Each structure stands twice: as C-alpha cells, then as structure tokens.
Structure 1
Amino acid sequence: MTLIQLEYIVAVDTYRHFAKAAEKCFITQPTLSMQIQKLEETLGVIIFDRSKQPVVPTEIGEAIIKQARVVLAEAKKIQELIDDEKQELSGEIRLGIIPTLAPYLLPLFITNFIEKYPKVNIQVEEMLTDQVVHSLKNDLTDIGIIVTPTKEKGLIEKPIFYEEFFAYISNRHALSKKGEVDANEIKGEDLWLLNEGHCFREQALNICGSYRENQAHPNFKYESGSLEALRKIVDKQKGLTLLPELATLDLSLDDKKKLHGFAEPKPIREVSIVMHRSFLKRKIVEALYDEIQNTLPLNMKSKKSRKVINWKK
C-alpha cells in the first residue's frame, strides 16, 4: 500500500469517474485503474463498484477512503513542519468565495496579500455557499469565505467581519422618504431578489418575510445572480432591493442617497473563513485573516448588539 494509491482512490471518490480522476492526478486512466486494482488485491477487498455510473465506493470502500483521507492529511503535515522551521509562507491554496462577496472583498486585500507572500499561489473561484461546503468536504477547495453559521459538521468557521444590510430604494417608492426602514414595512411584491441558491436571497427573505413576484410590473419577472443588476433594475423599474455593506462603499453620491439603514436591532451577516477540520496550512489562513481585517472599517469587525441573520432556517 502506498500514499500514491491512497491519493488515487480519494480522487476517484471525489470525482466519481476514473477518467476525470486520472486527469486530475496527471496520469493515464489505465495507470490509475491498475494501481487501484493492485491496492484492492493487496487488501483483499473491492473498493469501488464499477458496475454503477457514476462509480461509487462499496461499503468497505467508503471506510477505506475515509481513513485514506486521514492518512494523506497526516502525511502532508511533514511539509508544514518544514515550512514552519523555515519561517516562511509558501505553497498553493484554493479559495472558494461567494458571488455577493467576491467583487467587493477581493479587491480590498488580494493585491497586498500576493505582494506580501509571493511564494503563496492562491487560486480563487466564485461559488455558491452549498458548492463551497461540498468542495471543502471533498478536498476540491482548501478554504472558503462565506456567510456563516453553516452548522455543517466537520468544518471550522473563523468569523472575520460583520456587515449590515441596507435597503436600496427607488426614489419613486414611498419608503424613499423615510430615514431608517422597518423591515415590516417592506412589501414582498416590491422586493427584487437574487435567484435561488444564493444565501443572500435567503437572508433577505428572513429579514423581510414573505415574497411575491414584483407586482409593479406583473408581466416582467426578474431574478438575478448579480447585486449590481438588481440595483439597476430598482433604478429603472421602481421597488427596492437589499445590499450588503461592502457593496455600498463605492456607490456614487447620488446612489448613496437611495440607501436606507434598518431600524434597531440592525440586521447583519457574519462572514467567515471556513475550512475542513483536517486542513493544515493554518499560518496561511492566519495571514489571510489578518490581511482582510486590516482593510475593513472598524465598525465591521464587531457584531456589537446587532442581529446576525441566518441564511438557513
């Protein structure tokens, strides 16, 4: 039994496809299949049920793969010990970040981070929250920056900051004449939302309650994956939408006049770095955490007496 063979069975379990697993391992499919077959012969068990598509582990295979992940994680600690001894940050880190954070948060810290730590290769991909969680659990992603709490077993959540929700209201809407907005005053039929799958949509519904398709234009239904698109729809079609605090920082003076805070207790969302319990590169995570914190306004670093809005009921 070798570490390479363990990596191959973990890859097949992750991608549930021999050809794709071989591609990700940078070997040919026959080589991967042969090595897995050798491991099965050594152990005297069948690890994968090859009669099913996608391929799935057998019952004993699941237990072996689970232990293989532990063994591989422990083996990687050797390199981390060496890096600690050298007092340097290096290596690759795969980061998943949700779309309602990526365009506003990444520009704040990423340039300073890569200049300060040139030996760290950081790969960033936008994903929905459920996709980040799935990728973390299947070792496709190292860390995520998402809204928490997720209540997912096996994951560690390290809160970075807390951002308020703001209502972005058309000048032609009755609530535009008010200062702060009471969530109970928002009518579901006036609300423009992100499409399903975005945690920000669920949080908006948790704040505002019921939702019906926008009735100002009953022949026009629109849900988007972009906060900027929703903001422009509000400008043209009336109604309102919700924005997270970071998305409001670079608005023009005219657009900032359309922003309305909520009455106390102000709703906020908790943003965290999330990783699997077995993840090793904690010094890189700490460096990333510090770099993000250093770019944020002081008021966003504490939840104070504000109300954290969950995205799952």
Structure 2
Amino acid sequence: MSHLPSLRQLEFLVALVEEQHFGRAAEKCNVSQSALSTALKELEQNLGVHLAERTKRSVTITPLGNALADRARRILLDTRAFVDFASANSRFLAGDLKLGVISTVGPYLLPGLMPHLRKKFPELRLFIKEGMTSDLLLALQNGYLDAVLLALPFEIGDLAYETLFEDGYKLAVGPDHPLAKLKHADGADLEGTRMMLLEKGHCLQQHALSAFTPIGPVQDSSFEATSLSTLVGMVAEGLGTTLLPDIAIKAGLTDKYDLHLVDVDKALPRKITLTWRKSSPRGEELKQLGEFIKQIYKGQET
C-alpha cells in the first residue's frame, strides 16, 4: 500500500518541473541537491511511477510527472489557503503577507507608504518581491504571493482587484529639445516622435505607447532601458524623449536632472491596482488594505 506523499515532496516536484534542473530546484527549495533528488526518488518508489528521466547533464519530466505536478501545485495552494484562513480568522492584517510589486510602482510608492502601514498594522510583516507583471501574476496564481501591486490595462484573468489610483504621464525632454517650448502636448503634437522606453516585459512600455489614441509617439527601437532612472539620465543628456509616470516624478525621480516636463493632455492613464486570487481567504483583508493604500496616497497628493 502506498504511503501519502509529504507536502515537502510535492514542493520538490513542483520546483523541479518549474526549473527543469535539479540544482536550481534545490536552491529554490533551500535544500541540497542530493536531498531533493533522494526525496523525489522516494516519491517515485512510493507511487510506483517515473516522474523524471535523468541523465548526467539534463532532466526530462515525464508526461505523468507534469500531470502530477499540476495536481501537486493545487494541493500546495489549497494547503497555503488552509493556513491563511486560520490566520485571517485569528488576527486582521497580521502575520506574513507576501506582496509582489512592479518596478515602475514599488520604488515610488512603498517608501512613503511603509511607515503608515507599520503604524496602522504593527503585527503585519510584509515580504516584498519586485518583478515584471507577467512573472508576478504567475507567482500569484501559483500561490507564492498573496497579492500584487500592478498597473492596468493588463490581462489578469479571473483575479480580484482594487483600483488604488490613476497614474498619468508627463513628457520628459531636454531643455534644448524642440518640444521643450510646449506647455501642453497631445497625441497630435507627439505623432511620430521616437521615444526611448523600457525594454519589453515592462508593462509601462505598452502603456506609454497606448496612452494616446488614435495617434501618438512610437518607440525608438535602437534603445531599450532597464529602469526609469536610466531613461531619465539618457533624456537629460539630450539623447531623446520619454514619457514618465506621475508617481515617479512626484517621488523625486527627475529632481536632480535638468529636464523639461510637459503636461500631456488627454493621455490615457494607467490604473494602479492591488490584485489577489478570488479564492484567497484573505480577500476581505486585502480589499481593506487596498482602501488604506488609496487613502494614504490621496492624502500625500493633497
């Protein structure tokens, strides 16, 4: 008779399927490679199946291994929800909360927000993971994160969210740029303007390009930045133009640079949201957290 697998074995299986490498899977689970390999062999023996085909240089997950990993992922997610449900019903906004945040929001929102969160919810311990929207949403859906701060529009599937505020843009140009003479700009003013933007994978790249309809700027394909700081530095050197989100400007991103910031009229803003799984037992808590963040940000604006 087969014994029930341990949650740790299921975690090892999911990690191996996601990483496709024993070493990286072991590192992800904070165990030695030999410990992970031994545990998975024991799981295979217990179940009487092959989960992976091993060679000295590679690992190939069997079709059954992939199918079982999908089931294991759901079991782990339900187990985390079981623990979260107990925590959520014992203390409100207390304990550990794993929060993902995109890099075009986190550095400009969190520093001003954290002191208020600590004062309002002293028992809440936030663990922050910064990344790109698609990666953070995958981590959220797989149960590695409790919530994500991101910007819409973006396809988020069947997830719950609370809109916190709208984030508009300003056109950033060097003081000698022809567009610097403008006080306001719209899509017609910027039609065909080649703008330096973030590299692919950052949702702000697409948001900036779609901020004006039906006409507006295009991306300068010769340059893609990894951060807003890089974009600001390049524009300050007179190498091009860009659109910067208001949240970053308000946080002081451009303060030490000689830039001209032009108001952009009728640009479609992005919506900053707090997003979580509809099945999360902490859904009501997260909604209240979103309301609190909304109030704090509104207060900082006035």
- Band the TM-score falls in, shorter-chain normalisation: 0.7 to 0.9
Residue type of the alignment partner of 2:219: Y
Q: Per the alignment, do residues 205 and 86 of structure 1 end up closer, same or farther by CA in structure 2, a change over 3 Å counting?
A: closer
Matched residue SS, 2:237 = helix
Q: Write out per-residue CA displacement over residues 216-252 of structure 1, whole angstroms, 9 at most, x where no aligned residue.
A: xxxxx65432323433433331643211111222458
Mapping of residues 21-170 of structure 1, within 5 Å: 21-51=25-55, 55-153=59-157, 155-170=159-174
Aligned equivalent of 1:171: 175
Q: Write out per-residue CA displacement over residues 154-202 of structure 1, whole angstroms, 9 at most, x where no aligned residue.
A: 6444432211122123332333333321223225455332333322222
Extract unaligned runs of 5+ from structure 1: 214-220, 301-313
Q: Is the 8 A contact 1:11 1:25 kept in 2?
A: yes
Give the distance between the partners of 2:285 and 2:23, measured in 1 at CA: 32
Is 2:298 the partner of 1:262?
no
Deviation at 1:112, TM superposition (A): 1.8
Residue type of the alignment partner of 1:210: V
Q: Is the 8 A contact 1:18 1:29 kept in 2?
A: yes
Matched residue SS, 1:193 = strand
Aligned equivalent of 2:238: 237
Aligned equivalent of 2:218: 210
Aligned equivalent of 1:311: none
When structure 1 is superposed on structure 2, of 5-14 and 97-106 the one drifting more is 5-14
Q: Per the alignment, do residues 87 and 25 of structure 1 end up closer, same or farther by CA in structure 2, a change over 3 Å counting?
A: same
CA RMSD of aligned residues (A): 3.3
Aligned equivalent of 1:297: 298
TM-score, normalised relative to structure 2? 0.80
Deviation at 1:81, TM superposition (A): 3.4
Q: Per the alignment, do residues 77 and 52 of structure 1 end up closer, same or farther by CA in structure 2, a change over 3 Å counting?
A: same
Q: Per the alignment, do residues 15 and 257 of structure 1 end up closer, same or farther by CA in structure 2, a change over 3 Å counting?
A: closer
Residue type of the alignment partner of 2:229: E
Q: Per the alignment, do residues 170 and 126 of structure 1 end up closer, same or farther by CA in structure 2, a change over 3 Å counting?
A: same
Residue type of the alignment partner of 1:192: M
Extract unaligned runs of 5+ from structure 2: none
Q: Write out per-residue CA displacement over residues 81-134 of structure 1, whole angstroms, 9 at most, x where no aligned residue.
A: 332332343333332222211221111212221343333332223212233234
Higher strand share: 2
Q: How many residues align?
A: 292
Q: Per the alignment, do residues 154 and 49 of structure 1 end up closer, same or farther by CA in structure 2, a change over 3 Å counting?
A: farther
Matched residue SS, 1:160 = strand
Deviation at 1:55, TM superposition (A): 3.2
Deviation at 1:135, TM superposition (A): 3.2
Matched residue SS, 1:107 = helix
Give the distance between the partners of 2:68 and 2:152, measured in 1 at CA: 31
Give the distance between the partners of 1:280 and 1:11, measured in 2 at CA: 24
TM-score, normalised relative to structure 1? 0.77
Matched residue SS, 2:188 = helix
Give the distance between the partners of 1:186 and 1:17, measured in 2 at CA: 48
Identical positions, percent: 27
